[in-house]
A and B are shown apart, each in its own frame.
Chain A
Amino acid sequence: MIVANNVHKAFGPLQVLRGIDLQVKEQEVVVIIGPSGSGKSTFLRCLNLLEEPTSGVITIDGMCVTDKTADINRIRQNVGMVFQRFNLFPHKTALENITLSPLKVKGIPLQEANAIAKDLLAKVGLSDKETSYPDQLSGGQQQRVAIARALAMKPKVMLFDEPTSALDPEMVGEVLTVMKDLAREGMTMVVVTHEMGFAREVGDRVLFIDEGRVVEEGTPEQIFGNPQNERTRAFLNKIL
């Protein structure tokens, strides 16, 4: 589903990614962990070209993202993204946040778009918040709307960029629950997170990234139970 080969990214003289490879199979849930500044978010953002890789090749669902002639808007429709800071549209209600892109990008009729949005709001447990504006919702509710908004485009892959990092602790659970449901339904997911419990429970594979490289990769049991690399061990010791 996703193939990334030797992805490099530099911001000026600063080398953030130094050759990252990743293969994600359909229905697989890959969790990326690593210290802050390790490049994990940057790598995720390269996958849908919010950051343009300096070099390397990325293919999603058979379409080459890094090809200069690629129709990136088309590819992005297949790649949902959930942000750390939710990034809901504050001038739109929860329902309108979800329907905007299906209406304007896909040209889906209003009634159908509304029906899809209502289903998705029900799915994330927010049926009663249709007409609420983002600033009337809690962080956890906003993030669930953001997930619903991404799902409305019927993506084949979902990217999560630290989806619970900006949340109060008591709201982390509700968002993780939605993500777990999604994984169980077979969504292909790449998740950058500090939630090790989630990684252990839901992840098929865990990548530990540090200083722009994949330091270690394996099943959650391998990474958390028996890390081979010194830096992985040091990192896990600090956060667990």
Chain B
Amino acid sequence: MYVLEIWQEAFPVLLVGLRLTIELTILAVLFGCVIGLIVALGKMSRMSLIKIPSVIYVEFFRGSPLLIQIFLVYFGLPKLVGHPLNQFWSSVAVLSLNSGAYCAEIFRAGIQSIERGQMEAARSLGMNHIQAMRYVILPQAFKRVIPPMGNEFIAMMKDTSLVSVIGLVELTRSGQLIISTTYNALEIWFVVAIFYMIMTILISEFFVNRMERRLQAGDRS
């Protein structure tokens, strides 16, 4: 069949792109989580020197389109630093910063969903704020943020397609390149979409299974 031949030819190229998409996603979410946790704690800080920058950061990266953020870093920043940036790492940077803003809100919501009595009990036992956060609040908050983190993971995975605009050959860009020489837009875009969908299913399976295992541990908090 004609379609199968097109796919057969496209597959090796798409798989290389897919690999890059996976790398981008994992790095972005990983760094995003770290940034998010720090910023979430910053946003809840009473010191305005920490709080205000955290708020501005989240507002900026959630409030402006990711596409503009990509342009800003890849085409804008070289003007400041004086040399062009590495495509891959500038993509990882933008995606991480963007994901970090969303993760920050997820963590903040998770932390604030823990009843006030938990912090009070911890503090009344002589723990300082950091100890109470580390041993009492955060372990409980982490469990509650697993489902929204799963969503963020999936959203970020799909958003990596945007860095195709700066020429990084991830899944979407590889599809584009194949189409630019073969003109098989329907066949290729369809299979690219399926690739993204399969990854989405895999990620959500991972999070659902993980959740279930945690819940079976007898601790239903």
Contacts and interface: CB of A to CB of B under 8 A. Distances in A.
Contacts of B121: 81, 83, 87-89, 146
A53 to B, nearest CB: 16
A74 B126 CA distance: 6
A133 B218 contact: yes
A136 B128 CA distance: 28
Given A89-B118, A135-B220, A79 B124 contact: yes
B68 interface: no
A85 B123 CA distance: 15
A91 B126 contact: no
Given A83-B117, A83-B121, A133-B218, A91 B127 contact: no
Contacts of A90: 140, 219-221
Contacts, number: 73
Given A90-B140, A133-B219, A150 B125 contact: yes
A73 B118 CA distance: 16
A104 B135 contact: yes
A164 interface: no
Interface residues of A, number: 28
B178 to A, nearest CB: 49
A120 interface: no
Contacts of A106: 126
A144 interface: no
A105 interface: yes
B136 interface: yes
A50 B139 contact: no
Interface in B2-48: none
A42 interface: no
Given A89-B118, A91-B143, A100-B135, A135 B126 contact: no
A105 B135 CA distance: 11
A115 B122 CA distance: 21
A51 B135 CA distance: 22
Query: Interface on chain B toward A: helix, strand, loop, or mixed SS?
Result: helix
Interface string A32-56: 0000000000000000101000000
B125 A105 contact: yes
A146 B121 CA distance: 9
Contacts of B143: 91
Contacts of A89: 118, 121-122, 136, 140
A201 B121 CA distance: 28
A81 B135 contact: no
A101 B125 contact: yes
Contacts of A104: 127, 131, 135
Nearest to B220: A135
A153 interface: yes
Given A85-B117, A90-B140, A133-B218, A50 B127 contact: no
Interface string A62-96: 00000000000110110111010101111100000
Contacts of A205: none
B205 interface: no
A9 interface: no
A156 interface: no
The residue among B120, B124, B136, B143 with the most chain A CB atoms within 10 A of its own CB is B124
A76 B126 contact: yes
Nearest to A81: B124
Interface string B101-134: 0000000000000010110111111111001000
Given A85-B117, A90-B140, 18 more contacts: A50-B123, A73-B127, A80-B124, A83-B121, A87-B115, A87-B118, A87-B120, A89-B118, A90-B221, A91-B143, A104-B127, A105-B126, A105-B127, A133-B218, A133-B220, A135-B220, A136-B218, A149-B125
Closest 3 CB pairs of A and B: A90-B221, A87-B121, A77-B126
21 contacts: A50-B124, A77-B126, A83-B117, A83-B121, A85-B117, A87-B118, A88-B121, A90-B140, A90-B221, A91-B140, A91-B143, A100-B125, A100-B135, A101-B125, A104-B131, A135-B220, A146-B121, A149-B125, A150-B124, A153-B125, A153-B126
Interface of B: 115, 117-118, 120-128, 131, 135-136, 139-140, 143, 218-221
